[in-house]
Structure 1
Amino acid sequence: MTQVTIEIEQGHLPNTCQYTARTRRGDYLVQVAWPQFWNEDRVQPADDAPVSTIYLVDGNAYFFTAVDFTRRLESMNGTRTVVVGIGYPVTKFVFDPRRGSDLTAPSLDGAYAAVIGKDGKPMTGIDFGGASDFLDVIQTDIIPFVEGTLFPEAPLRTSRKALYGHSYGGLFTLNAIFTKPTHFDTFIAASPSIWFNDCSIVKGQEAQFRAREHPADPAPRLLITWGSGEQYLVQQPGESDEHFKKRERFAEPKKMKDNAVDMAARLEDCPSVRDVYTFEFEGEDHGSAAPVALQRGIMKFLLDKK
């Protein structure tokens, strides 16, 4: 039998690229995808179709999932989307410890309550409160490079933009809308960690946002999502009573649904928010709710343009 030599190549998605953004906060892996029918040089055909951009924090975890969702909509609904995932240089871990600082909202008094880990002990060696500075890095370093260098011929500067984050990333998204509401058209806060630092974002950034003398113009849209299994846990098949009670003790103080519902209600009549949407995903826990929220958020952003 004739031996055939097969060269194994690294798999990749067409019309994607990545680069390392070197910033004052350290290096970030920036992954970028553009519509599949554009050419590989990131040039938009002369069809004048509107192009939207969605930015994701924790890009290591969500970039390829978001690309899949946007390309399905591109095929079925004719949407045109650039996806930008902002994450960390690749290691054996999906979630980098730096996200503890990058994604958590700053405390107004500079103090932070202890964060309890799954082992029931306070987590140590993690900085907090860098969300506003990280957002500034995204605005001053990453977005200008994407719009001006990667896509100089596409109308990204004037197109609609969305921001997605989950968990601490959801808290980051809330901090972003409360402090820089005109930077994005749509803010998608998936399972946001409103509980962080004794809900200081409620008493600080949210309160200041609702008390603005001049409402945000244009006012953005906000989506807040969570899974039904985040606050009211369900014991899994084969899970011991001891392990289930341990998970309950870890989840109970976070009050994921209660905090999200209460915040949405407070923002319902806020003139600085165009619309507030809430979605509860039946049966999803904190981990599984993330991709469901990403899909729902992308669909809302791209298909509902009111």
Structure 2
Amino acid sequence: MEHAHLPNTCQYTAKTDRGDYIVQIAWPLIWSEDRVPHKEEPVNTLYVVDGNAYFFTAVDVTRRTEFTHGARTVVVGIGYPNKTCVYDHRRGPDLTPPTADGKYDIPLDAFGQPQDHLSFGEASKFLNTIENTIMPHVQDTLFPKAALSTGRKALFGHSYGGIFALNTLYTKPELFNTIIAASPVTWWNYSSIVKEQEVAFRERKDTIKSPPALLMTYGSAESELELGPGESEKSLAKRKACAEDDQMKESVEGMVARLQSSPNIRNIWTWKFEGEDHGSSAVTAVQQGVIKFLTEEHIG
């Protein structure tokens, strides 16, 4: 037997000063296997953090929109060379925003002890790696004959990746045309991203030339779940353990209300996925977010 694989995909190991990343790339089926378009045409690029978890889902969605809407999209998943689990510990520092005082709320382990081996707050450094190392290699080396550098770009992130996406919006709003922040845990570290990056973004005096759009999504909260017909209490408890935190809806709606009048955001959409928990809503967010980016970007 052979390993299963998708056509028109490849991957490479990006060796950076932050360590190695597995970068997975997919390009339109209508293009040649050597990544060359058949003609000059607009090309979208979707960057996905936690690529280990969401790359292939994103590829599936873009290939359906290629068929239904003629959209040409390159998907770039950025993940880790970890073959034993989906979520690598390096996403902690990579995806969480820095704080002014360099202090972070360290989570406790199962025994109530601080996990001092974990680090946080390096999202801006990771973004620099994406912008200055991964993005140029994809655009100039892998796709020299496709107009990726001038095409529209979106960024997708979930949970920690959601606040990474928001940190990108607040610190480099010109880098992507659309930010998809799925279930962003904005209360992380005592809501430091709200108190620092968001405030600075809302108070900035200059208006960027092409403001990005923002899409925030989330699933059902723990308090909304009820015991189903014939369901055991144990099953309900398990579903509640996977549900969105009860803070999610309020935090997302509050952020939207505060950002609504910002001249540096072109459009804001929110979407609640009824019946989806914190993890499963990520997959739904990939589908709805990518479709929004590829087919409704012009609205507003």
TM-score range normalised by the length of the shorter chain? over 0.9
State the secondary structure of the residue aligned to 1:106. Answer: coil
**Structure 2 match to 1:198:** 190
Please name the residue that 1:104 is paired with: 96
Do the aligned residues in 1 keep the contact of 2:222 with 2:240 (CA within 8 Å)?
no
Match of 1:276 in 2: 268
Give the 3-state SS of the residue equivalent to 2:136 in structure 1: helix
When structure 1 is superposed on structure 2, of 109-118 and 285-294 the one drifting more is: 109-118
Asked if the contact 1:223/1:297 (under 8 Å) is kept, the reply is yes
Question: CA 1:125/1:280 → structure 2, altered by over 3 Å: closer, same or farther?
Answer: same
Say whether 1:216 aligns with 2:186: no
Kindly report which structure 2 residues correspond to 1:1-306, keeping only aligned pairs within 5 A, or say none. Answer: 8-46=1-39, 48-116=40-108, 122-229=114-221, 232-235=224-227, 237-240=231-234, 243=237, 247=241, 252=245, 255-306=247-298
- Aligned-residue sequence identity (percent) comes to 53
Distance 1:242 1:154, change over 3 A: closer
Structure 2 CA distance for partners of 1:245 and 1:269, relative to 1, 3 Å? same
Q: Could you tell me whether the CA contact under 8 Å between 1:105 and 1:130 is conserved in 2?
A: yes
Q: Secondary structure at the match of 2:53?
A: helix
1:62-102 residue CA offsets vs partner (Å, 9 max, x unmatched): 00000001001101111100000000013110000000000
Separation in 1, partners of 2:80, 2:259: 33
Give the AA of the match of 2:280. Answer: S
Structure 2 unmatched ranges of 5 or more? none
Displacement of 1:230 after TM fit?
A: 5.5
Q: Is the 8 A contact 1:51 1:156 kept in 2?
A: yes
Q: CA–CA distance in 2 between the matches of 1:134 and 1:119? A: 31
Whether the 8 Å CA contact 1:226–1:279 is kept in 2: the answer is yes
Q: CA deviation at 1:270?
A: 0.5
Q: Secondary structure at the match of 2:289?
A: helix
Q: Tell me how many residue pairs correspond in the alignment.
A: 296
Contact 2:106 2:118 in 1 (8 A): no
Q: Following the alignment from structure 2 to structure 1, what is the Cα–Cα distance between the partners of residues 235 and 30?
A: 52
CA, structure 1 residues 129+230, in 2 after alignment: closer, same or farther (shift >3 Å)?
farther
Query: SS at the partner of 2:100?
Result: coil
Q: Secondary structure at the match of 1:164?
A: strand
